[in-house]
Amino acid sequence: MGKLNSLWSRGTDFLGCKYAIMGGAMSWVSERNLVAALSNAGAFGVIACSAMTPALLEQEIIETRKLLRQAPSTKHQAPTFGVNLIIMHPQMDELIAVCKRQNVSHVVLAGGIPKDGWIKAIKAYGAKVLCFAPSAIIGRKLIRLGADALVIEGMEAGGHIGPVTTSVLAQEILPHMKDVPVFIAGGIGRGEAIAAYLEMGASGVQLGTRFVCASESIAHPKFKECFIRSQARDAVPSVQLDPDFPVIPVRAIANKATDAFTRCQKEVIEQYRSGALDKKAAQLKIEHFWAGALRKAVIDGDVEYGSVMAGQSVGMVSKIQPVSEILEELIGQAEEYIARRKSKTA
């Protein structure tokens, strides 16, 4: 692993783990069991706070920590993990206070450009802040605001997505963002892609879809079965119904919930036009559709009317495996890719 270790050393030093592979924060999936499994195996688990109350987040952090191995498993430190906070959460200040109280080492801020005060509050207690950058311009702004690292996620990812592919974002951002570590996300399902992005200048990667079918994941068996039988083309973005009422596209496996979201938009927009809802309330109502539909699929196993959020790398998910086995496969593929390139160069 000499060359691979060298390629992602900046990322492993930043995260404090053996492998610079972050677990994507997936609502209802990225909870204590999967997060601890990732960290114990040498990667970096991230709790998806999503719509949790501060009390629920605090309990999740405490329970996750109980599952971590106590003895150091790497040359860096004992396993640790991060917390992903959505900046639209109405109790952001309280959530940050929870992270401070629990001494969370890394906080990932997602969903837009965070308030300057939030980044300062997190860094003030000693944590590192990671932010999502959908473009080079926003990436530079986030660095000026104090972000310690960036995550650039392409539209191949599952859940809420932007309009640009991972490969284009990588070409746009990696050559120009040298000040902080940059982690690549979206559509990564094999180790060759990990190695290629590291060679382009990334410090590490973030994978979500690939870990949904981990044996440690609490996702319902029917949810996992849906992943295993799906192909890349089955994971499609939701359609925006009205150009005057923009919604962030959500990538999920096509099912009856896809049509239900269209109907939901129509009903909410009609309520907005009639004055029954203001713009913010209407937006939240649409967002709540996905939160409820996602739980229905992940926890209850309703893969017809629930939201089966998945990235296009779902086509590379073929079976249920322990997290450690998935990581071994990814690292083995990355090492083989590097060895082949070295051989050709020689």
Report domain extents, the chain: 2-218+317-337, 231-309
pLDDT for residue 144 is more than 80: yes
DSSP 135-189: SHHHHHHHHHHT-SEEEEE-TTSSEE--SS-HHHHHHHHTTT--SS-EEEESS--
Q: What is the pLDDT of residue 116?
A: 84
* pLDDT, tens digit (0-9, with 9 covering 90-100), for 296-308: 999 999 999 999 9
Q: What is the pLDDT of residue 260?
A: 87
* pLDDT, tens digit (0-9, with 9 covering 90-100), for 84-102: 999 989 999 999 999 999 9
Q: How far apart are CA 314 and CA 37, in angstroms?
A: 20
pLDDT for residue 74 is more than 60: no
How far is C-alpha 297 from the chain's CA centre? 18
* Percent residues over pLDDT 70 in the chain: 97
Q: What is the pLDDT of residue 77?
A: 67
> What's the full length of the chain, in residues?
346
* Percent residues over pLDDT 90 in the chain: 79
CATH number of 2-218+317-337: 3.20.20.70
